[in-house]
Amino acid sequence: MVDDGISCSHGDYPCRFTERSAWSQRVIPHRVFSPACLLQKAQMGVLKLLPQCLAAAHAVLGVHPFPRLDVLIVPAGFSSLGMASPHIIFLSQSVLSAGSPGSEESLSLCGSRICHEISHSWFGLVIGARDWTEEWISEGFATCLEDIIWAQAQQLSLEEKTEQFDLKALLRWRRLSDELQNSKEELQILRPNMEKTGQVSESGSSTVKHALNPEKPFMQVHYLKGYFLLKFLASQVGEQQFIEFFQLFVKKYHGHLILSQDFLQMLLISFPGMERKGLTLGAIYADWLDQPGIPKWLYERSAVWSQARLVEEVKAEVVKWILLSQSHHGKGRKRKRMEPKVNYKELTSDQLVMLLELLLEESELSVASLRALQRTYSLQNQDAEVRHRWCELVVKHAYAQAYGDVEHFLIHDQAMGVYLYGELMVQEDPEQQALARHCLSLVQGEMDQSARRVVEEMVL
């Protein structure tokens, strides 16, 4: 795509985007602040990855919007995994490695989260949503760009990048499907004000629907559905062309608050072939932004992702674990417990998440198989995404020997543990319910207020 002479149209202030020769740093000055007890993990994780992620973001999106960056590791009671502000990123301690901090795979969650928050410098900070109900403009873009920037930071080959993207897309598809089945339809719409989006009254005021709904901060529809809309659009024009369009869009709209149509109209003008295929502004609104549920393209594409190589590897491992579990059923007490020797494949963190999600679909797993699963993958030392699925598995099968892992997660990973309280309560197991109340009593004084109210409704 050729640069067509787009120039700034924001207010009068020094602009980093037009004076490129003055702001050419691939890696801007950066610092990391952490509690002393987490300093080593922060150094081996965040501080190690920041230069790679900053350089990758520069390669993907161009000049950095801000001249420096600090990262602050926040307490366990912080309500999310991360938050970006000008010059500073707040990161949850949950993104730090729980196990050996030196391994590359242990840094996956940390790296991808850093890339997500860095993406907000472009989409969220120098470009924001003019209507607060259109959070997808910030979060959908950051979720899409986190994958692109993290792949660039890892210097993946085209094949490796495609495989990683497909696995992540399938995991997000599963999460979105589950969330849409368990949420109100009105909260599934990315542009709830529709034709009134961005309108103000004669007095200059506007109504923000759902902005203070206590359920919405714990939902990811605007992250995930927005991410899939961007993946759909990229599939229509080509990924590299789409990234180049991002750069042009930033050049035109930095310093502005925008609406969905600003992005989509510029995209349709830049790629006229889309409208010739029937992808009009109205069609995109109807399929993706103005109604609940899942667009047809996403159903079709998810079938392709489910056959990706990394996913097929996981499915093969799932079969081994199911067979192991079945081999323990019906054994007499007096028979010596002999576990069959099985060669388990080493899996990435994302593959482990998929493995545990698929095992969660099994109605019954033996205690011996759960014990072997925990030992084989050192699950208590994996990243927070993996440990979260492990805790769900522990709760579902009332695996009491690992209740300590659940307690540790609810205390130290509060940004991710809200609905785990619900899982503990819904089983109607007195021991599990007592565990939920015990954990709440330990952390309620430091919990985010919104999270505490939601958990108290479940537990008390």
Spatial separation of the C-alpha atoms in residues 72 and 91, rounded to whole Å: 6
Cα dihedral 315, 318, 323, 326 sign:
negative
State the DSSP string of 72-119: EEEPTT-SSSEEEETTEEEEEGGGS-SS-TTSSGGGHHHHHHHHHHHH
The dihedral over CA atoms of 166, 226, 273, 161, expressed in degrees to the nearest 10, equals -20
Spatial separation of the C-alpha atoms in residues 275 and 414, rounded to whole Å: 45
Nearest CA-CA partner of 146 in 169, 176, 170: 169
Residue 75 has what DSSP assignment?
A: P
Nearest CA-CA partner of 97 in 416, 407, 385, 391: 385
The token duo for 221 is: 């529809």
Spatial separation of the C-alpha atoms in residues 121 and 9, rounded to whole Å: 19
The token duo for 309 is: 């190589």
- CA 305 to centroid of chain Cα atoms: 17
Supply φ then ψ for residue 283, to 5 degrees.
-65, -40
Q: Which residues contact 39 (CB under 8 A, 6 or more apart)?
A: none
Active site residues: 117
CA distances to 194, 225, 286, 408 from 191, rounded to whole Å, are 5, 11, 10, 38
Cα dihedral 312, 317, 320, 321 sign:
negative
The answer to whether 366 and 333 are in contact (CB under 8 A) is no
